[in-house]
Structure 1
Amino acid sequence: MRWIDQYRAKVTTADRAVELIKPGHRVHIHGGCAEPEELVEALLRRAPELRDVEIVHLTTMGNADYTLPQYEGIFRHVAFFIGANVRQAVHEGRADYIPIFLHEIENLFRTGAMPLDVALIQCSPPDDYGYMSLGAGVDIALTAAQCARHVIVQVNDQSPRTLGDAFIHVSKVEAIVETSRPLPEYRKPEPTEVHHRIARHVANLIPDGATLQTGIGEIPDAVLSALRNHKDLGVHSEMVSDGVIDLIQAGVINNEKKTLHPNKVIAGFVLGTRRLFDFIHDNPIFEFHPTSYCNDPFVIAQNDRMVAINSAIEVDLTGQVCADSIGPLPYSGIGGQVDFIRGAARSKGGLPIIALQATAKEGTVSRIVPLLRAGAGVVTSRGDVHYVVTEYGVAYLHGKTLRERAEALIEIAHPAFRDELRREAERIGLLGRRGVLRP
């Protein structure tokens, strides 16, 4: 049968498509800005007929009403990374969190450790050969679709057609729901002067010809804006944001010096606005891959001068990094931080960087701490940490003693907390009598 005939035979309504979802099923939902919102809305309408449906996904930018109290017992969300739209449900016990390295998630699907009954994904319309692009996010969604027993596709003519290992054929899906609606967007908060100060310290570490990984948020965006005078930069990252557009258009990011996938931006997904979706549409500079590839530390390390820039909630005086919880309370996720920190550490000339603001809560709390809070998760171990950057400077920890680490980190803490940090460091034996800081 011709692919176009298969396609027409599979087109249905969202409400009929989600009838494939039964009580007790595990359902994967396409994440980020690629969330198939029309399918999610239909799933919610089907709620009275369902029970004990587990919903798994990365962060989504759209509707997550299945975590609301009225759906308890019907849906239960399991997060690989906690977004703002599900955080309250996790805290109130209606949803769960799996701490896991991003590059290892897909193996749960492949091995059957987490079998999937249904995958809900969003794609662009098929090309002349019947292939549909996963658009704004390949991430773990392509593998989920390859492993699930049933695949439902929201075909959205407003979804970008992205290139790389980003396609699924019409013959591989069970139901197709056509729609035309804007993608949910991630609108970045504006960086402050403090973020720009941090960014300048980070930018000073980055050589021309480096390959970058940046996350989402004010500091990564500020770092990108601080790189306008750099040359021949490349990108290999789990995700990219609007911040790369200006650098690509200015020729700062040209990927020419990359030692792996030269001339290409390698990414798993994007988080951004319509401007970014339009920019990646059929743009051959972008090559999308599953996160099992993008985030594999051994793949990352093949990029010479690999620079990984990641954030933290707090860092203790020995260099342990908490990035996914506030004390015992889950806040976000492990994500790709360790994947890229380890990949950059093994890269020739690589720079693994943890960047954070020195304080929180309007300057009343230090994020450089003597000890992590009780119950806090250690995302990046002190053995993995190389550079820690705040607005007050750069601490290099790799190969340093515990005393040297404490001294270096106190020097980049906010001045208002340095004396207290030194007293605590002496009390717990990190500094002792030799712990004399330079003025």
Structure 2
Amino acid sequence: MIFLVWFKAGPLFEDSDKLRNAYNEKLVSPLEAVSIIKSGDNIIVPPGAAEPEVLMDALADRKNDLKDVRIHQMLPLREATYLKPGMERQFRHVSWLTSSVVKRGVKEGRAGVMPGYLYEYPKFIQELDVDVFMGMVSPMDEHGYFSFGVSVDYTIAAAGCAKKVILVVNPNMPRTMGYSYIHISQADMLVEDNTPLLEIQKPVTTKTDLTIGDYVCELVDDGSTIQLGLGFIANAAAQCLGVKKGLGVHSHFITDTIVDLVECGAITNRRKNIHAGKIICSSAVGTKRLYRFMHNNPLFEMHAVSYTNNPMNIAKNEKMVAINSVDEIDLLGQCASEPIGPKLYSGTGEQVDFARGAMNSSEGKSIVVLHSTHKGRSKIVPMLESGSVVSLSRNDVDYVVTEYGIAKLRGKTYRQRAEALTAIAHPDHRDGLTEAAKKFGLTR
């Protein structure tokens, strides 16, 4: 949905007075705002740092009045009261991309997961009977518009189809450019709050990450357009891209790593064949440094996830490079980035969207990165554990990078894949992988 700003001739002060009066008429307390929520309602809240904490806490305070309220959200960053054990009769969390704070709830049956490709989620929302949307926005401008700031994602779609819209106005929310605006006329209630946005600190970069980063750097040409997943390994490795020139960005999530690459001059976006000069993204998760950097910064152009993550749009970028972390990969090239084994607690995220988009881009590449081992266990395995969810199919994997090198899988036979993956496994596990490949008939 696109919101157009219409400029009207006449005194600005008269319009400002009308807007301020409308603002004050809709201003309520957090408890008053959530009083409209009834048992059985479907509520949608933005992901990550844009969670309206003050409303979620006020809603939890009404636990004795409610039951079976379904709260749909992607990537919650804190364990809100409603997520804690003992609240499952009152509130049901429905996750679209699960974070560590809700994995326990999913495993224990107190929360659910809705799988899907991220670019489809706005469509899912439009098919859902949304009773209430609760979101956080930046302060209103002189035209009556608020910005959804660090989270456009599915937020625009949810606000557009919800029966009631409650907005938390927070001066800590950056005002971002692009398709991130909502007019005061679309809000039913407003709540003011100045709680700092939730943060995720930058990953601590290890020697292993830097080695992986050096290999990734070999694969990324100057002038490429990059996407970074949220995985710590991908972001740590990407810091090595500071030596590159003329990089662009088309991504779902933006992190502090992108700020680093802009400030060192690696990211300029000038060589992009579409959206030249712009970082195209849908959501930001990081620290205050990132949020301040995005505020009123025309370098960023926010879009709904239905645009940023649509593989056909991604593929329009020449030299598109997708960089994502995976947890495990088998000798066929199947990747697991969700649970390992029959423990369903997460969704796929943006990996498939960008892998397919990048591989259909002119001179595009999809790169998955992982450490060769975890606690002594090889992360390159003969086959995925029974019950594991395949996040990236063998047909969606292009390059695989560990600290021991690069394996090119796309266009390779099973035998070639098994040999290439064994070569970048930890030396202690290569003999076992070779024997397993022979046993399964992948090699001689």
User: What TM-score, normalized to structure 1?
Assistant: 0.96
Say which SS state the counterpart of residue 183 (structure 1) adopts. Answer: coil
| Mapping of residues 419-430 of structure 1, within 5 Å | 419-430=431-442
Do residues 254 (structure 1) and 254 (structure 2) align?
Answer: no
Deviation at 1:225, TM superposition (A): 1.6
Deviation at 1:7, TM superposition (A): 1.5
Aligned to 2:104: 88
Deviation at 1:398, TM superposition (A): 0.9
Q: Which amino acid aligns with 1:12?
A: V
Do residues 42 (structure 1) and 51 (structure 2) align?
Answer: no
Deviation at 1:62, TM superposition (A): 3.1
Aligned to 2:427: 415
Aligned to 1:377: 389
| Mapping of residues 28-427 of structure 1, within 5 Å | 28-110=44-126, 112=127, 114-361=128-375, 364-427=376-439
Q: Which amino acid aligns with 1:366?
A: S
Determine if contact 2:144/2:184 at 8 Å carries over to the other structure.
Answer: yes
Aligned to 1:23: 39
Deviation at 1:250, TM superposition (A): 2.4
Provide the C-alpha distance between the structure 2 equivalents of 1:107 and 1:294, rounded to a whole number of angstroms.
14
User: How big is the alpha-carbon RMSD for the aligned residues of Structure 1 and Structure 2?
Assistant: 1.1
Percent identical among aligned pairs is 44
Provide the C-alpha distance between the structure 1 equivalents of 2:365 and 2:111, rounded to a whole number of angstroms.
36
Q: Which amino acid aligns with 1:45?
A: D
Q: Which amino acid aligns with 1:375?
A: G
Deviation at 1:223, TM superposition (A): 2.8
Provide the C-alpha distance between the structure 2 equivalents of 1:289 and 1:400, rounded to a whole number of angstroms.
36
Say which SS state the counterpart of residue 409 (structure 1) adopts. Answer: helix
Q: Which amino acid aligns with 1:24?
A: G
Determine if contact 1:35/1:62 at 8 Å carries over to the other structure.
Answer: no
Q: Which amino acid aligns with 1:56?
A: H
Say which SS state the counterpart of residue 329 (structure 1) adopts. Answer: coil
Deviation at 1:169, TM superposition (A): 0.6
Q: Which amino acid aligns with 2:312?
A: F
Say which SS state the counterpart of residue 390 (structure 2) adopts. Answer: coil
1:5 equivalent among 2, 14, 21? 21
Q: Could you give the per-residue CA deviations for residues 31-88 of structure 1, whole angstroms, max 9, x where no partner exists?
A: 1111110011101111111000011110022343212122121001111011111111
Determine if contact 2:145/2:183 at 8 Å carries over to the other structure.
Answer: yes
Say which SS state the counterpart of residue 100 (structure 2) adopts. Answer: coil
Q: Which amino acid aligns with 2:386?
A: A
Provide the C-alpha distance between the structure 1 equivalents of 2:89 and 2:400, rounded to a whole number of angstroms.
44
Q: Which amino acid aligns with 1:283?
A: N
Provide the C-alpha distance between the structure 2 equivalents of 1:106 and 1:115, rounded to a whole number of angstroms.
13
Q: Could you give the per-residue CA deviations for residues 125-184 of structure 1, whole angstroms, max 9, x where no partner exists?
A: 110001100011111112111111111101001111111000111110111001112111
Q: Could you give the per-residue CA deviations for residues 298-326 of structure 1, whole angstroms, max 9, x where no partner exists?
A: 00000000000011111110001111112
Q: Which amino acid aligns with 1:418?
A: R
Structure 1 runs (4+) greater than 3 angstroms displaced: none
Say which SS state the counterpart of residue 326 (structure 2) adopts. Answer: coil
Provide the C-alpha distance between the structure 1 equivalents of 2:134 and 2:382, rounded to a whole number of angstroms.
45
Provide the C-alpha distance between the structure 1 equivalents of 2:30 and 2:209, rounded to a whole number of angstroms.
43
Deviation at 1:218, TM superposition (A): 2.8
Q: Could you give the per-residue CA deviations for residues 241-261 of structure 1, whole angstroms, max 9, x where no partner exists?
A: 111112212221110001110
CA distance 1:136–1:187, change in 2 (3 Å): same
Provide the C-alpha distance between the structure 1 equivalents of 2:416 and 2:357, rounded to a whole number of angstroms.
25
Provide the C-alpha distance between the structure 1 equivalents of 2:205 and 2:260, rounded to a whole number of angstroms.
16
Provide the C-alpha distance between the structure 1 equivalents of 2:254 and 2:78, rounded to a whole number of angstroms.
18
Q: Which amino acid aligns with 1:54?
A: R
Provide the C-alpha distance between the structure 2 equivalents of 1:235 and 1:189, rounded to a whole number of angstroms.
20
Determine if contact 1:33/1:62 at 8 Å carries over to the other structure.
Answer: no
Provide the C-alpha distance between the structure 1 equivalents of 2:203 and 2:279, rounded to a whole number of angstroms.
24
> Which 5+ residue runs of structure 1 have no aligned equivalent?
434-439
Aligned to 1:437: none
Q: Could you give the per-residue CA deviations for residues 383-426 of structure 1, whole angstroms, max 9, x where no partner exists?
A: 11111111111110111111111111111111101111111111
User: What TM-score, normalized to structure 2?
Assistant: 0.95
Provide the C-alpha distance between the structure 2 equivalents of 1:70 and 1:335, rounded to a whole number of angstroms.
28
Determine if contact 2:79/2:102 at 8 Å carries over to the other structure.
Answer: no
Provide the C-alpha distance between the structure 2 equivalents of 1:202 and 1:331, rounded to a whole number of angstroms.
29
Deviation at 1:333, TM superposition (A): 2.2
Determine if contact 2:232/2:325 at 8 Å carries over to the other structure.
Answer: no
Provide the C-alpha distance between the structure 1 equivalents of 2:199 and 2:58, rounded to a whole number of angstroms.
21
